[in-house]
Amino acid sequence: MQEYPMLTRHVFLFLCCLSTAVLADGVQIQVKNAWIQAVPPVAEATAAYMKIKNLSPSSIRLIGASSPVAEKVEPMVTTRQQRNGQEVLGMESVDYMEIPSGGSLDLKPGGNHLMIMGLTSHPKEGEQVKLTLRFAPGDQRIDVDLPVVKQEPK
């Protein structure tokens, strides 16, 4: 009897990770493997990761996002610089991330991601967080529910 809650949780997480295909103003966007990094209650920020595929005939831009659990959500790119002969990684906020027609944008740990800043609540592992992704041209919005996990799902 005790195995059912764990099985239910695994089925739930599996279903959350399935791709979401959305048609918004003629632009078809597929979001796969989306998740949010669980953080301790004292953290001021976390990150969202996913793969976004542009199935439309023209390029689009991910221009931002919003969430009820944060003051702001911004696209961030990973930067690499040489300092004293060593590679130093950093992050930089950008206005948009381009996704070519038929191409994909991979947001992953150690790489480009959506930074969720000014957390107004701290979702726990196993909970869901709603993100509204914003794309251009136009101001197309897509809602995605992301599971909160401690580490990248395999």
Instruction: Tell me whether residue 132 is in a domain.
Output: yes
Tell me whether residue 87 is in a domain: yes
DSSP 24-92: ETTEEEEEEEEEEE---TT-SEEEEEEEEEE-SSS-EEEEEEE-TTEEEEEEEEEEEEEETTEEEEEEE
Looking at per-residue pLDDT, the higher value among 4 and 32 belongs to: 32
What pLDDT digit, counting tens, does each position of 64-84 carry? Answer: 999 999 999 999 999 888 888
Q: Is residue 151 part of a domain?
A: no
146 versus 15: the higher-pLDDT residue is 146
> Does 11 or 137 have the greater pLDDT score?
137
Task: Burial-class residue 29 by CB neighbours within 10 Å (0-12, 13-18, 19+).
Answer: buried
In a domain? residue 63: yes
Q: Is residue 153 part of a domain?
A: no
**What CATH number should be reported for the domain holding residue 26?**
2.60.40.1890
Judge whether 86 lies within some domain: yes
Domain of residue 136: give its range: 3-146
Give the C-alpha separation, 61 to 133, whole Å: 11
Convert the pLDDT of each residue in 96-148 to its tens digit.
999 999 999 999 999 999 999 999 999 999 999 999 999 999 889 999 999 99
**In total, how many domains does the chain have?**
1
